[in-house]
Amino acid sequence: MLANARRVLVGERLVNPVNLGVIVRSAAGLGIDALLLDPPSVDPLYRRSSRVSMGEVFDLPFARLEPLPAGLSVLRAAGFSLVGLTPTVEATPIGELGFAADDRVAILLGTEGPGLSAATMAACDRLARIPLAGRVDSLNVGVAAAIACYELGLPD
């Protein structure tokens, strides 16, 4: 699945089936090649997830990883840069990452609420954030994934 992939999403503890459906639909529509999920993440084929994805889950390749962060070794071995999405102000604004179209990039998304675990963030090569205005400190993981897919995805 990773042999020809350039952009993949990785989910850590994504347990809300609606959010996962939004993530799958956004990934499929915005040029992401595959979705990788850790064991606690909801099944993309769960009825609610597949319905929200409008059936895109049946077209977007997906697989399970070993628990994170150890499961990221598969991506490292395949030459992917690991980019953890986080709202922390110390992270690089996502529009400034500067990846080329042929760079292999894995975008890591964390669970609703707490986000990526500290261990998984420490395993990332870079941390990226979506700059926000006003008092809003973070976005829903499905919305954040869509923005990240837009910024880093490859058009067909």
Check if the beta carbon of residue 94 is closer than 8 Å to that of residue 86.
Answer: no
pLDDT digits (tens, 9 = 90+) for 14-50: 999 999 999 999 999 999 999 999 999 999 999 999 9
**pLDDT for 156:** 52
> Which pair of structure tokens corresponds to residue 21?
């459906």
Question: Three-state DSSP class for 57?
Answer: helix
Indicate the pTM of the whole model.
0.95
Mean pLDDT score, 139-144: 95
Question: In the CATH scheme, what is the homologous superfamily, with its name and number, of domain 7-152?
Answer: SPOUT methyltransferase, trefoil knot domain (3.40.1280.10)
What residue ranges do the domains of the chain occupy? 7-152
DSSP string, 29-54: HTT--EEEE-TTSPPTTSHHHHHHTT
* Predicted pLDDT at 155: 63
The H-or-E segment that residue 134 falls in is none
Q: Which residues of 29-64 are buried (b: 16+ CB within 10 A; e: fewer)?
A: bbbbbbbbbbeebbebeeeebbebbeebbeebebee
Q: Are strands 34-37 and 81-85 parallel, antiparallel or unpaired?
A: unpaired
Tokens 């963030």: give the residue. Answer: 121
